[in-house]
Amino acid sequence: MRFGRFEGADRGRFWAVVDADEQTVRPIDEDFSTWAARFSAEGDGALDLSAPPIDLSSLVRLAPYEPGARIFGCGANYWEHLKHTGLFEEPPTVPVAYFKADSSIIGPDSEIRHASYTDQLDYEVELVAVVGRALEPDAPASASLLGYSVGNDVSIRDTDDPFGTPDLFTMKGADRMSPVGPYVYSNDEVGGVGQPSLDISLRVNGEVRQHDNTKNIIFSIDFLLEWINLRNTLRPGDLLYTGTPAGSATEHGQQRFLRPGDVVEAEIERLGVLRNTVGEKET
């Protein structure tokens, strides 16, 4: 099942199930935390989809993000990527985690902000896990997910490093620089509960820059969810960006960083294409 968040003249902003033909959506007339938790626990039959369908072409697609939810990131999670950066001699033994501001989130077809204070704007395709309900102690953590989406953890590389470590606040959390979407796909769409094995790639102006498979991450989805949940109890709607594969611009030099007008397409098998364009550099 596919879930999206939309805006329409007659309904405002709302969540809906996206029909298989992607021509119509069926609104979910219930509080997000209620229906997401019930769906995560019970499956398709838990949803009330009695509202009339709406033509998708009449709607604006928004980021599949519930306002008020938190956004977590866990980087340094593909060994090939880390080897190419030259920052690690061996795989990390603990996750490299950070928060992202909610104002960083943008949806499909939205413009990626090019802040005035960077000349090194980087792309990072990532599998994004979307929490549906609280984790349960006797079940895999991924069983509590609403599903998965495509993310692009756009990063500022030329940050100040006052203590010899990256400034993750500047690098990862700036306004309008974290695309996610277009939809959230439930566990059954990606092979069931557990670690997804999906081809993941990114193109800039049609050129393939990144390609790998999500099975190659260092820390599994279940491990990351449990690790975060020990520190911040996960709630319905929370997002988790799970790391990027090799091929980012920082691995290849100045000429590969994003420029105004670049079209960036992040794609994950079964989850679709997240397409965004880089805006003009702010003055």
Structure tokens at 21: 């033909």
Structure tokens at 204: 């800039």
Amino acid identity for residue 169 in this structure? F
Ramachandran assignment for 85, one of left (phi > 0), alpha (psi -120 to 50 degrees), beta (any other): alpha
Amino acid identity for residue 94 in this structure? V
* Closest C-alpha among 168, 181, 159 to residue 264: 181
Of residues 92 and 204, the one with the higher pLDDT is 204
Helix or strand or coil: residue 112?
strand
Q: How confident is the model at residue 250 (pLDDT cuts 50, 70, 90)?
A: confident
- As a whole-number percent, the residues of the chain with pLDDT over 90 amount to 86
* Closest C-alpha among 218, 236, 240 to residue 94: 218
What is the bridge-based pairing of β-strands 239-241 and 145-152? unpaired
Residues of each domain in the chain carrying CATH 3.90.850.10: 63-281
pLDDT digits (tens, 9 = 90+) for 217-241: 999 999 999 999 999 999 999 999 9
- As a whole-number percent, the residues of the chain with pLDDT over 70 amount to 99
In the prediction, which pLDDT does 268 show?
A: 98
Q: Average model confidence (pLDDT) for the chain? A: 94
pLDDT at 254 over 90: no
On the question of a cis peptide bond just before residue 236, with omega within 30 degrees of 0, the verdict is no
d(CA 194, CA 6): 29
CA angle 115, 119, 121 (to 5 degrees): 70
Spatial CB neighbours of 110, under 8 Å, sequence gap ≥ 6: 63, 176, 179, 276
The domain 2-61 having CATH identifier 1.10.10: the answer here is: no
Residues of each domain in the chain carrying CATH 2.30.30: 2-61
In the prediction, which pLDDT does 279 show?
A: 98
H helix intervals, the chain: 32-42, 79-85, 168-172, 221-231
Helix or strand or coil: residue 113?
strand
pLDDT at 84 over 80: no
pLDDT at 266 over 90: yes
Q: Class of 63-281 per CATH?
A: alpha beta
Beta bridge partners of 6: 14, 61
Helix or strand or coil: residue 165?
coil
Buried residues in 222-251 as b, exposed as e (16+ CB within 10 A): bebbbbbbeeeebbbbbbbbbbbbbbbbbb
State mean pLDDT over 140-144: 98
Distances (CA, A) of 233 to 65, 136, 227, 228, 236: 18, 11, 10, 7, 10
